[in-house]
Protein backbone atom coordinates (compact mmCIF):
# COMPACT_ATOMS: atom_id res chain seq x y z
CA UNK A 1 0.00 0.00 0.00
CA UNK A 2 3.15 2.21 -0.28
CA UNK A 3 2.29 3.33 -3.66
CA UNK A 4 -1.04 4.92 -3.23
CA UNK A 5 -3.26 4.54 -6.20
CA UNK A 6 -5.22 7.63 -6.95
CA UNK A 7 -8.83 7.28 -6.07
CA UNK A 8 -10.92 6.09 -8.89
CA UNK A 9 -12.84 9.29 -8.72
CA UNK A 10 -9.69 11.27 -9.37
CA UNK A 11 -8.73 9.01 -12.21
CA UNK A 12 -12.09 9.62 -13.58
CA UNK A 13 -11.66 13.37 -13.08
CA UNK A 14 -8.46 13.38 -15.01
CA UNK A 15 -9.89 11.27 -17.82
CA UNK A 16 -11.52 13.84 -20.04
CA UNK A 17 -8.86 14.78 -22.56
CA UNK A 18 -10.94 17.18 -24.50
CA UNK A 19 -9.29 20.55 -24.18
CA UNK A 20 -11.43 23.31 -22.85
CA UNK A 21 -10.90 25.36 -25.98
CA UNK A 22 -12.10 22.53 -28.17
CA UNK A 23 -15.20 22.36 -26.02
CA UNK A 24 -15.90 26.05 -26.67
CA UNK A 25 -15.26 25.56 -30.33
CA UNK A 26 -17.86 22.82 -30.48
CA UNK A 27 -20.47 25.07 -28.81
CA UNK A 28 -19.69 27.86 -31.21
CA UNK A 29 -20.12 25.61 -34.25
CA UNK A 30 -23.49 24.47 -32.95
CA UNK A 31 -24.43 28.15 -32.41
CA UNK A 32 -23.37 28.95 -35.95
CA UNK A 33 -25.55 26.11 -37.31
CA UNK A 34 -28.58 27.47 -35.49
CA UNK A 35 -28.11 31.01 -36.73
CA UNK A 36 -27.83 29.73 -40.29
CA UNK A 37 -31.15 27.93 -39.90
CA UNK A 38 -32.64 30.98 -38.32
CA UNK A 39 -31.27 33.09 -41.11
CA UNK A 40 -32.77 30.71 -43.63
CA UNK A 41 -36.08 30.77 -41.83
CA UNK A 42 -35.95 34.52 -41.63
CA UNK A 43 -35.15 34.67 -45.32
CA UNK A 44 -38.05 32.31 -46.06
CA UNK A 45 -40.38 34.37 -43.91
CA UNK A 46 -39.17 37.56 -45.54
CA UNK A 47 -39.63 36.04 -48.99
CA UNK A 48 -43.13 34.86 -48.03
CA UNK A 49 -44.03 38.27 -46.65
CA UNK A 50 -42.67 39.96 -49.75
CA UNK A 51 -44.58 37.57 -51.99
CA UNK A 52 -47.77 38.19 -49.98
CA UNK A 53 -47.26 41.94 -50.15
CA UNK A 54 -46.60 41.78 -53.87
CA UNK A 55 -49.70 39.63 -54.38
CA UNK A 56 -51.77 42.06 -52.30
CA UNK A 57 -50.42 45.04 -54.23
CA UNK A 58 -51.09 43.30 -57.53
CA UNK A 59 -54.61 42.40 -56.45
CA UNK A 60 -55.20 46.01 -55.34
CA UNK A 61 -53.85 47.36 -58.61
CA UNK A 62 -55.99 44.93 -60.58
CA UNK A 63 -59.07 45.88 -58.56
CA UNK A 64 -58.33 49.58 -59.11
CA UNK A 65 -57.84 49.04 -62.83
CA UNK A 66 -61.06 47.06 -63.04
CA UNK A 67 -62.92 49.74 -61.12
CA UNK A 68 -61.50 52.42 -63.43
CA UNK A 69 -62.42 50.43 -66.53
CA UNK A 70 -65.91 49.84 -65.17
CA UNK A 71 -66.30 53.53 -64.39
CA UNK A 72 -65.08 54.43 -67.89
CA UNK A 73 -67.45 51.94 -69.51
CA UNK A 74 -70.33 53.24 -67.42
CA UNK A 75 -69.47 56.81 -68.39
CA UNK A 76 -69.31 55.81 -72.08
CA UNK A 77 -72.60 53.96 -71.83
CA UNK A 78 -74.18 56.94 -70.15
CA UNK A 79 -72.84 59.24 -72.86
CA UNK A 80 -74.19 56.91 -75.54
CA UNK A 81 -77.54 56.72 -73.80
CA UNK A 82 -77.60 60.47 -73.61
CA UNK A 83 -76.94 60.70 -77.33
CA UNK A 84 -79.62 58.06 -77.90
CA UNK A 85 -82.12 59.80 -75.64
CA UNK A 86 -81.61 63.45 -76.36
CA UNK A 87 -82.43 65.64 -73.39
CA UNK A 88 -82.32 68.89 -75.29
CA UNK A 89 -85.19 71.24 -75.93
CA UNK A 90 -88.66 69.78 -75.67
CA UNK A 91 -91.82 71.74 -76.44
CA UNK A 92 -94.10 72.42 -73.50
CA UNK A 93 -97.63 71.02 -73.45
CA UNK A 94 -98.78 74.53 -74.36
CA UNK A 95 -96.53 74.59 -77.44
CA UNK A 96 -97.82 71.21 -78.55
CA UNK A 97 -101.43 72.18 -77.94
CA UNK A 98 -100.91 75.35 -79.97
CA UNK A 99 -99.20 73.96 -83.02
CA UNK A 100 -98.18 70.33 -82.49
CA UNK A 101 -94.78 68.88 -81.66
CA UNK A 102 -93.35 69.12 -85.16
CA UNK A 103 -94.29 72.75 -85.77
CA UNK A 104 -93.03 73.72 -82.33
CA UNK A 105 -89.75 71.95 -82.96
CA UNK A 106 -89.42 73.30 -86.48
CA UNK A 107 -89.99 76.93 -85.50
CA UNK A 108 -88.97 77.14 -81.86
CA UNK A 109 -86.28 74.62 -80.91
CA UNK A 110 -83.15 76.75 -80.43
CA UNK A 111 -80.80 73.79 -80.08
CA UNK A 112 -81.21 72.02 -83.42
CA UNK A 113 -77.76 70.78 -84.36
CA UNK A 114 -78.41 70.14 -88.05
CA UNK A 115 -80.35 72.09 -90.65
CA UNK A 116 -83.86 70.78 -91.45
CA UNK A 117 -84.85 71.13 -95.09
CA UNK A 118 -88.67 70.96 -95.08
CA UNK A 119 -91.70 73.05 -95.86
CA UNK A 120 -93.44 74.28 -92.72
CA UNK A 121 -96.85 73.02 -93.84
CA UNK A 122 -95.55 69.42 -93.79
CA UNK A 123 -95.35 69.52 -89.99
CA UNK A 124 -99.06 68.82 -89.33
CA UNK A 125 -98.85 65.98 -91.87
CA UNK A 126 -96.09 64.33 -89.81
CA UNK A 127 -98.13 64.97 -86.67
CA UNK A 128 -101.10 63.20 -88.14
CA UNK A 129 -99.36 60.15 -89.59
CA UNK A 130 -96.44 59.54 -87.22
CA UNK A 131 -98.09 59.97 -83.80
CA UNK A 132 -99.34 56.38 -83.73
CA UNK A 133 -95.73 55.11 -83.76
CA UNK A 134 -94.67 56.92 -80.60
CA UNK A 135 -93.52 54.51 -77.90
CA UNK A 136 -93.34 51.66 -80.43
CA UNK A 137 -89.61 51.87 -81.32
CA UNK A 138 -90.32 52.24 -85.06
CA UNK A 139 -87.86 51.44 -87.82
CA UNK A 140 -87.65 54.46 -90.11
CA UNK A 141 -86.16 54.84 -93.57
CA UNK A 142 -85.54 58.31 -94.89
CA UNK A 143 -84.42 58.71 -98.49
CA UNK A 144 -82.47 61.99 -98.69
CA UNK A 145 -80.50 62.89 -95.59
CA UNK A 146 -78.65 66.07 -96.67
CA UNK A 147 -77.45 67.89 -93.54
CA UNK A 148 -79.25 65.47 -91.25
CA UNK A 149 -81.76 67.91 -89.77
CA UNK A 150 -84.76 65.68 -90.38
CA UNK A 151 -82.93 62.62 -89.03
CA UNK A 152 -82.33 64.62 -85.84
CA UNK A 153 -85.98 65.67 -85.81
CA UNK A 154 -87.34 62.10 -86.10
CA UNK A 155 -84.89 60.94 -83.46
CA UNK A 156 -86.00 63.61 -81.03
CA UNK A 157 -89.69 63.09 -81.76
CA UNK A 158 -89.33 59.43 -80.83
CA UNK A 159 -87.05 60.27 -77.88
CA UNK A 160 -84.22 58.22 -79.37
CA UNK A 161 -86.47 55.14 -79.31
CA UNK A 162 -86.31 54.32 -83.00
CA UNK A 163 -83.90 52.96 -85.58
CA UNK A 164 -83.25 55.22 -88.53
CA UNK A 165 -81.83 54.19 -91.88
CA UNK A 166 -80.83 57.10 -94.10
CA UNK A 167 -80.12 56.73 -97.81
CA UNK A 168 -78.26 59.41 -99.72
CA UNK A 169 -75.86 59.80 -102.62
CA UNK A 170 -73.55 61.97 -100.56
CA UNK A 171 -70.71 60.33 -98.65
CA UNK A 172 -70.64 63.10 -96.02
CA UNK A 173 -74.07 62.07 -94.70
CA UNK A 174 -72.23 59.17 -93.05
CA UNK A 175 -71.23 61.60 -90.29
CA UNK A 176 -74.73 61.29 -88.79
CA UNK A 177 -73.70 57.85 -87.51
CA UNK A 178 -71.15 59.52 -85.23
CA UNK A 179 -73.86 61.65 -83.65
CA UNK A 180 -76.58 59.07 -83.20
CA UNK A 181 -75.86 55.40 -82.41
CA UNK A 182 -79.31 54.40 -83.71
CA UNK A 183 -78.76 55.95 -87.16
CA UNK A 184 -77.36 53.96 -90.09
CA UNK A 185 -76.46 55.72 -93.30
CA UNK A 186 -76.38 53.79 -96.56
CA UNK A 187 -74.92 55.38 -99.65
CA UNK A 188 -76.81 54.70 -102.85
CA UNK A 189 -78.92 55.90 -105.73
CA UNK A 190 -82.66 55.70 -105.15
CA UNK A 191 -83.24 55.33 -108.89
CA UNK A 192 -81.21 52.11 -109.04
CA UNK A 193 -83.28 48.93 -108.54
CA UNK A 194 -80.09 46.94 -107.84
CA UNK A 195 -79.29 49.25 -104.96
CA UNK A 196 -82.73 48.63 -103.45
CA UNK A 197 -82.48 44.88 -104.03
CA UNK A 198 -79.29 44.81 -102.02
CA UNK A 199 -80.65 47.24 -99.42
CA UNK A 200 -83.69 45.04 -98.78
CA UNK A 201 -81.47 42.13 -97.83
CA UNK A 202 -79.66 44.24 -95.23
CA UNK A 203 -82.38 46.39 -93.74
CA UNK A 204 -85.46 45.02 -91.94
CA UNK A 205 -88.95 46.00 -93.08
CA UNK A 206 -89.70 49.53 -91.96
CA UNK A 207 -92.62 51.13 -90.13
CA UNK A 208 -92.15 54.54 -91.70
CA UNK A 209 -90.69 55.38 -95.11
CA UNK A 210 -90.09 59.07 -95.81
CA UNK A 211 -89.08 59.82 -99.38
CA UNK A 212 -87.27 63.16 -99.61
CA UNK A 213 -84.52 62.42 -102.12
CA UNK A 214 -83.87 63.78 -105.59
CA UNK A 215 -87.57 64.49 -106.35
CA UNK A 216 -87.31 63.57 -110.03
CA UNK A 217 -90.14 61.50 -111.47
CA UNK A 218 -88.21 58.30 -112.16
CA UNK A 219 -86.57 58.49 -108.71
CA UNK A 220 -89.92 58.77 -106.93
CA UNK A 221 -91.60 56.06 -108.97
CA UNK A 222 -88.66 53.64 -108.77
CA UNK A 223 -88.37 54.08 -105.01
CA UNK A 224 -92.08 53.46 -104.54
CA UNK A 225 -92.08 50.37 -106.75
CA UNK A 226 -88.98 48.88 -105.14
CA UNK A 227 -89.81 49.72 -101.54
CA UNK A 228 -93.58 49.83 -100.97
CA UNK A 229 -93.74 46.19 -100.02
CA UNK A 230 -90.70 46.66 -97.74
CA UNK A 231 -92.94 48.81 -95.55
CA UNK A 232 -94.56 46.72 -92.81
CA UNK A 233 -98.22 45.67 -93.12
CA UNK A 234 -99.35 48.46 -90.80
CA UNK A 235 -96.68 50.98 -91.83
CA UNK A 236 -96.83 54.30 -93.63
CA UNK A 237 -95.19 55.64 -96.81
CA UNK A 238 -94.78 59.42 -97.26
CA UNK A 239 -93.46 60.99 -100.44
CA UNK A 240 -92.53 64.62 -100.05
CA UNK A 241 -92.17 67.42 -102.57
CA UNK A 242 -94.61 66.01 -105.07
CA UNK A 243 -94.85 69.60 -106.26
CA UNK A 244 -91.98 68.65 -108.59
CA UNK A 245 -94.63 66.78 -110.62
CA UNK A 246 -95.65 70.24 -111.87
CA UNK A 247 -92.14 71.53 -112.50
CA UNK A 248 -90.51 70.91 -115.90
CA UNK A 249 -86.96 70.95 -114.50
CA UNK A 250 -87.84 67.77 -112.57
CA UNK A 251 -89.65 66.16 -115.49
CA UNK A 252 -93.05 67.44 -114.37
CA UNK A 253 -95.92 69.36 -115.97
CA UNK A 254 -99.65 69.67 -115.31
CA UNK A 255 -101.42 66.50 -116.43
CA UNK A 256 -98.21 65.15 -117.96
CA UNK A 257 -97.98 61.37 -118.17
CA UNK A 258 -95.24 59.70 -116.13
CA UNK A 259 -95.20 62.21 -113.30
CA UNK A 260 -95.43 60.93 -109.75
CA UNK A 261 -98.69 62.75 -109.16
CA UNK A 262 -100.27 61.10 -112.21
CA UNK A 263 -98.82 57.77 -111.11
CA UNK A 264 -100.33 58.10 -107.64
CA UNK A 265 -103.63 59.27 -109.06
CA UNK A 266 -103.67 55.85 -110.74
CA UNK A 267 -103.55 54.34 -107.25
CA UNK A 268 -107.02 55.76 -106.63
CA UNK A 269 -108.30 53.37 -109.28
CA UNK A 270 -106.41 50.53 -107.62
CA UNK A 271 -108.07 51.39 -104.29
CA UNK A 272 -111.38 50.87 -106.07
CA UNK A 273 -110.32 47.70 -107.83
CA UNK A 274 -113.37 45.71 -106.67
CA UNK A 275 -115.72 48.10 -108.38
CA UNK A 276 -113.67 48.15 -111.56
CA UNK A 277 -113.74 44.33 -111.66
CA UNK A 278 -117.48 44.37 -111.08
CA UNK A 279 -117.95 46.33 -114.28
CA UNK A 280 -116.95 43.03 -115.97
CA UNK A 281 -115.86 44.75 -119.13
CA UNK A 282 -112.90 43.29 -120.96
CA UNK A 283 -109.62 43.32 -119.04
CA UNK A 284 -111.24 45.21 -116.19
CA UNK A 285 -112.67 41.94 -114.96
CA UNK A 286 -109.15 41.09 -113.85
CA UNK A 287 -108.14 44.49 -112.48
CA UNK A 288 -105.59 43.68 -109.74
CA UNK A 289 -106.76 43.70 -106.15
CA UNK A 290 -103.27 43.48 -104.63
CA UNK A 291 -102.88 47.17 -103.88
CA UNK A 292 -106.39 47.39 -102.40
CA UNK A 293 -105.60 44.49 -100.10
CA UNK A 294 -102.51 46.11 -98.57
CA UNK A 295 -103.48 49.77 -98.64
CA UNK A 296 -105.93 51.44 -96.30
CA UNK A 297 -105.73 54.95 -97.72
CA UNK A 298 -103.99 57.27 -100.15
CA UNK A 299 -104.07 60.85 -98.93
CA UNK A 300 -102.99 63.85 -100.95
CA UNK A 301 -101.72 67.02 -99.28
CA UNK A 302 -100.09 70.08 -100.77
CA UNK A 303 -96.80 68.58 -101.96
CA UNK A 304 -97.08 65.29 -100.06
CA UNK A 305 -98.80 61.97 -100.67
CA UNK A 306 -99.24 59.56 -97.77
CA UNK A 307 -100.15 55.88 -98.09
CA UNK A 308 -101.31 54.09 -94.96
CA UNK A 309 -100.97 50.31 -95.16
CA UNK A 310 -103.11 47.58 -93.68
CA UNK A 311 -103.85 43.91 -94.19
CA UNK A 312 -107.32 43.53 -95.58
CA UNK A 313 -108.60 40.48 -93.72
CA UNK A 314 -112.17 41.65 -93.95
CA UNK A 315 -114.65 40.87 -96.69
CA UNK A 316 -114.92 44.52 -97.78
CA UNK A 317 -118.58 44.56 -98.73
CA UNK A 318 -119.82 41.70 -96.61
CA UNK A 319 -122.90 42.66 -94.58
CA UNK A 320 -125.63 40.93 -92.62
CA UNK A 321 -129.29 41.83 -92.28
CA UNK A 322 -130.41 42.74 -88.78
CA UNK A 323 -127.97 40.36 -87.12
CA UNK A 324 -130.03 37.26 -87.98
CA UNK A 325 -127.28 35.74 -90.12
CA UNK A 326 -128.94 36.62 -93.44
CA UNK A 327 -126.70 37.82 -96.27
CA UNK A 328 -127.68 41.31 -97.25
CA UNK A 329 -127.03 40.64 -100.93
CA UNK A 330 -128.56 37.23 -101.62
CA UNK A 331 -130.83 36.97 -98.53
CA UNK A 332 -129.59 33.46 -97.82
CA UNK A 333 -129.32 32.50 -94.10
CA UNK A 334 -125.64 31.75 -93.68
CA UNK A 335 -124.29 28.60 -92.08
CA UNK A 336 -122.76 29.08 -88.60
CA UNK A 337 -119.29 30.64 -89.01
CA UNK A 338 -119.85 31.45 -92.70
CA UNK A 339 -118.59 34.93 -93.55
CA UNK A 340 -121.10 37.37 -95.03
CA UNK A 341 -120.65 37.41 -98.78
CA UNK A 342 -118.69 40.17 -100.34
CA UNK A 343 -121.14 42.15 -102.44
CA UNK A 344 -119.19 41.87 -105.64
CA UNK A 345 -118.46 38.18 -105.12
CA UNK A 346 -122.03 37.20 -104.14
CA UNK A 347 -123.12 35.17 -107.14
CA UNK A 348 -126.88 35.59 -106.60
CA UNK A 349 -126.50 39.33 -106.27
CA UNK A 350 -124.30 39.51 -109.39
CA UNK A 351 -126.80 37.44 -111.39
CA UNK A 352 -129.59 39.78 -110.37
CA UNK A 353 -127.52 42.93 -110.92
CA UNK A 354 -125.95 41.86 -114.21
CA UNK A 355 -128.50 39.39 -115.67
Ligand X SMILES: C[S@@+](CC[C@H](N)C(=O)[O-])C[C@H]1O[C@@H](n2cnc3c(N)ncnc32)[C@H](O)[C@@H]1O
- Buried b or exposed e, range 189-225, using 16+ CB within 10 angstroms: bbbeeebbeebeeebeebbbbbbbbbbbbebbbbbbe
DSSP string, 310-334: ----S-TT--EETTTTEETTT-PBP
With CB under 6 A, what is the number of residues at the site for ligand X? Answer: 21
Q: Is 239 helix (H, G, I), strand (E, B) or coil?
A: strand
In the bound state with ligand X, the residue whose beta carbon lies nearer, of 207 and 212, is: 212
284 binds ligand X (CB under 6 A): no
β-bridge partners, 54: none
149 binds ligand X (CB under 6 A): yes
189 binds ligand X (CB under 6 A): yes
Q: CA 97 → CA 93, 102, 103, distances in Å?
A: 6, 11, 11
116 binds ligand X (CB under 6 A): yes
Residue 164 CB, shortest distance to ligand X, in Å, is 11
Residue 313 CB, shortest distance to ligand X, in Å, is 35
Angle at which helix 149-157 crosses helix 93-108, to 10 degrees, equals 170
In the bound state with ligand X, the residue whose beta carbon lies nearer, of 219 and 295, is: 219
Beta-sheet strands, E only, within the chain: 139-143, 163-168, 183-187, 206-211, 231-240, 295-301, 304-309, 320-321, 326-327
| CA dist., res. 237 & res. 206, Å (int) | 10
In the bound state with ligand X, the residue whose beta carbon lies nearer, of 168 and 207, is: 168
What residues from 165 to 184 belong to the interface with ligand X (CB under 6 A)?
167-170
In the bound state with ligand X, the residue whose beta carbon lies nearer, of 203 and 327, is: 203
Q: Which of 91, 100, 138, 144 binds ligand X (CB under 6 A)?
A: 144
In the bound state with ligand X, the residue whose beta carbon lies nearer, of 147 and 256, is: 147
CB-CB contact of 199 with 186 (8 Å):
yes
238 binds ligand X (CB under 6 A): no
CB-CB contact of 231 with 223 (8 Å):
no
| CA dist., res. 336 & res. 263, Å (int) | 44
118 binds ligand X (CB under 6 A): yes
Q: Which of 104, 219, 245, 259 binds ligand X (CB under 6 A)?
A: 219
117 binds ligand X (CB under 6 A): yes
303 binds ligand X (CB under 6 A): no
Count Cβ atoms below 10 Å from residue 291 Cβ, excluding itself.
16
190 binds ligand X (CB under 6 A): yes
In Å, the largest CA–CA distance within the chain is 179
In the bound state with ligand X, the residue whose beta carbon lies nearer, of 196 and 349, is: 196
251 binds ligand X (CB under 6 A): no
Q: Which of 145, 183, 227, 231 binds ligand X (CB under 6 A)?
A: 145
Closest residue (Cβ) to ligand X? 214
In the bound state with ligand X, the residue whose beta carbon lies nearer, of 146 and 305, is: 146
| CA dist., res. 185 & res. 150, Å (int) | 13
Q: Which of 185, 191, 209, 305 binds ligand X (CB under 6 A)?
A: 191
Residue 216 CB, shortest distance to ligand X, in Å, is 8
| CA dist., res. 7 & res. 154, Å (int) | 125
In the bound state with ligand X, the residue whose beta carbon lies nearer, of 176 and 273, is: 176
In the bound state with ligand X, the residue whose beta carbon lies nearer, of 218 and 332, is: 218
Binding footprint of ligand X on the chain (CB under 6 A): 116-118, 142, 144-147, 149-150, 167-170, 189-191, 212-214, 219
Amino acid sequence: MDQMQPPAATVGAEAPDIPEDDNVTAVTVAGENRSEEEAQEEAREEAQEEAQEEAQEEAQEEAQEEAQEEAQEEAQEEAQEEAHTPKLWEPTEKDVARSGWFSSYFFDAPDKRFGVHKWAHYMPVYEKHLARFQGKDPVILEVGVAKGGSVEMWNRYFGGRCTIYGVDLMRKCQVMEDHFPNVHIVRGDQADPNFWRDFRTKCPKVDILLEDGGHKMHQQIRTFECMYDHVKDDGVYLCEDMCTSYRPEYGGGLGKGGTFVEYTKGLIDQMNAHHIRASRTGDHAYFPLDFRHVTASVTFYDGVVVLEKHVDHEVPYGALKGGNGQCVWCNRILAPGEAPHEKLECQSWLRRRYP
